[in-house]
Structure 1
Amino acid sequence: MPISLEKGQKISLSKEAGPSLSSVVMGLGWDAVKKKGFLGFGGGQKDVDLDGNALLFDVGGNLLDAVWFRQLQSRDGTVRHSGDNRTGVGEGDDETISIDLSRLPANVQTVVFSVNNYTGQDFNQVQNAYCRLINAQNNAEIARYNLTAQGAHSALILASLRRNGSDWTMTAIGAPSRGRTYQDNLPDMRPHL
């Protein structure tokens, strides 16, 4: 049974998914807020283009690589993005990022997942947002973090995976940030490395 994470909570991936865990998928899903029309007419929904990112850092907090909608895989091929979903329409994960933990270079200490609203709306216009970590070997959900951080921010630092010897620890972060791309959020990520 998957764990429902709260902001700041940490879990051991080997404890929750078993020591043979070698690859994971971070799924991100959201819905646009439905617009209210005049007297019930003219409503609808405005598309929201959230962009999921995976940022790879070394032990010193230096950015080694970034996987996002403009670079769909890491230079070594161990991290892959499913591609840009520009609407949030439909059920299930809108974007996914796959990580081969067994092949991730040894100098990668932390992987930070973030999301930016490229179309510029703030998170008051996004609902039902979540991220979830899945065991890629059997598609079992390990953990889910429902993102209730609505507000005037246009980006969120979601969660991190941190290497701890042969194990990985996932931390639910949920810190608001601003900007259309991950580069704008790097200063806000520093405290979570």
Structure 2
Amino acid sequence: MALTLAKNQSISLEKTAGSDLKNITLGLGWDPAKPSGFFSKILSGGSQDIDLDASCIVLDADKKPVDLVWFRALQSTNGAIKHSGDNRTGEGDGDDESITVDLRKLPPLVNYLVFTVNAFTGQNFEKIENATCRILDSASGKELARFNLSEKGKHTGIVMAYLSRSDSGWNFTTLGEATNGRTADDLVALAIQALRT
């Protein structure tokens, strides 16, 4: 049974996986909020598509950006981090977007991987429901932990969570910091700030 983490909780991925972890996947899933009330359903024509974008901001030990993986650059410079591609609707079950990381191929200078989500079309999180990020052992498909992004509001982005390198391996920490920004570029400074608080 996977752990459901609260905001600002941290786990050791190796201990949680119970094995030598080589590849992890961060999956992001969401649904468009369904209009409530008879007239709102008629006026909106049903639920609207929501274009959320998962991204990975790569930082060094000094928390300086060294790479960015997002819908405009679907893999890191050395190929260790890969994005599944842009999902513009949120329809269907399971993960709508995912980012896979080969932990063995990450350069030694990489100390943090910060995962963010933002609404490229500018829709806010009042129009989104069932938003969840989860981390999996890519080899086995085993879900190691999940974090519900349930906070409603006018924000258009969230600094979801980050991986940090330690002597004993990689740790996964949830953040859930609400932000504003349409692209991962807009969230880099906010992600760095979230790590420093």
Matches within 5 A, 1:1-193: 1-36=1-36, 37-38=38-39, 41-42=42-43, 43-193=45-195
Q: Which amino acid aligns with 1:2?
A: A
Distance 1:39 1:90, change over 3 A: closer
Post-superposition offset of 1:99: 0.1
Superposition misfits of 4+ residues, deviation over 6 angstroms:
none
Q: Which amino acid aligns with 1:104?
A: L
Measured after TM superposition, the shift of residue 112 of structure 1 is 0.2
How far apart are the structure 1 equivalents of 2:123 and 2:190?
Answer: 19
Distance 1:8 1:148 in 2: 14
Structure 1: any 5+ residue segments left out of the alignment?
Answer: none
Partner-residue secondary structure (3-state), 1:105 = coil
Once residues 40 and 75 of structure 2 are traced to their aligned partners in structure 1, the CA distance between those partners, rounded to angstroms, is 47
How high is the TM-score relative to the length of structure 2?
A: 0.94
Alpha-carbon shift at residue 119 of structure 1 (Å): 1.0
RMSD between aligned residues:
1.3
Query: C-alpha distance in 2, partners of 1:22/1:40?
Result: 46
Which secondary structure does the structure 2 equivalent of 1:109 belong to?
strand
Cα deviation per residue 1:74-118 (whole Å; 9 max; x = unaligned)? 010000000000000000000000000011111100000000101
Pairs aligned (count): 193
User: Which protein is richer in helix relative to its size?
Assistant: 2
Mean CA deviation greater in 32-41 or 19-28: 32-41
CA separation of 1:38/1:61 partners in 2, compared to 1, >3 Å: closer, same or farther? Answer: same
**Which secondary structure does the structure 1 equivalent of 2:187 belong to?**
helix
Which letter maps to 1:69?
A: F
The CA deviation string for residues 136-171 of structure 1, in whole angstroms up to 9 with x for no partner, is 110000000011121110000000000002410100
Query: What is the CA distance between 1:41 and its match in structure 2?
Result: 3.7
Q: 1:112 to 1:40 in 2, by over 3 A?
A: closer
TM-score by length of structure 1 reads 0.96
Give the percent of matched residue pairs that are identical in Structure 1 and Structure 2.
44
Gaps of at least 5 residues in structure 2 are none
Q: Matches of 1:174 and 1:142 in 2, distance apart?
A: 18
How far residue 185 of structure 1 moved from its aligned partner, in angstroms, is 1.4
